[in-house]
């Protein structure tokens, strides 16, 4: 069995996160939805690009179990990089604080991907911090 990342989105309407899940259709249009008790869609509302910002779930959780989305401000630690890049032998631990962005197919904090770290803590997001 393969581990697959859950594809999820959240939407910011300019004041708060919309209290529903969001999805994006193949044509690029975004919608929010809520499920009824039977697991089927109970409402389906188109989200206009001028009306909201859509953010993708990274597939990572912080140390408290909170989902990490692009646009979250995160403390990341436990990362390791090769000091040989700086002409020094061995490895060193690295820690960084920054905003998660999706860039060239990767979720990044600064110059490193989230895969370069082992522990995260969400400290806010670009809208509420």
Cα-based torsion angle of the residue sequence 58, 124, 16, 100 in order, rounded to the nearest 10 degrees: -30
Q: Which residue has the tokens 């809520």?
A: 34
> What is the torsional sign of CA 95, 100, 103, 107?
positive
Mean pLDDT confidence for 66-87: 77
Q: In the chain, what are the domain boundaries?
A: 9-125
pLDDT, tens digit (0-9, with 9 covering 90-100), for 14-72: 888 876 666 677 777 777 666 555 555 555 666 666 677 888 899 999 999 999 999 99
Q: What angle do CA 126, 104, 18 make, to 5 degrees?
A: 35
d(CA 35, CA 19) in angstroms, rounded, equals 12
């Amino acid at each position: 069995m393969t581990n697959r990342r859950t594809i999820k989105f959240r939407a910011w309407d300019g004041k708060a996160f919309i209290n529903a899940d969001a999805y994006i259709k193949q044509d690029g249009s975004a919608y929010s939805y809520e499920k009824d008790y039977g697991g089927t869609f109970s409402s389906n509302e188109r989200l206009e690009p001028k009306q909201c910002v859509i953010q993708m779930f990274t597939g990572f959780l912080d140390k408290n179990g909170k989902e990490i989305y692009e646009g979250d401000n995160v403390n990341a630690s436990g990362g390791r990089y090769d000091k040989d890049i700086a002409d020094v032998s061995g490895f060193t631990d690295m820690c960084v604080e920054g905003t998660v962005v999706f860039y060239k197919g990767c979720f990044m904090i600064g110059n490193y991907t989230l895969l370069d770290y082992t522990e995260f803590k969400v400290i806010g997001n670009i809208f509420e911090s």
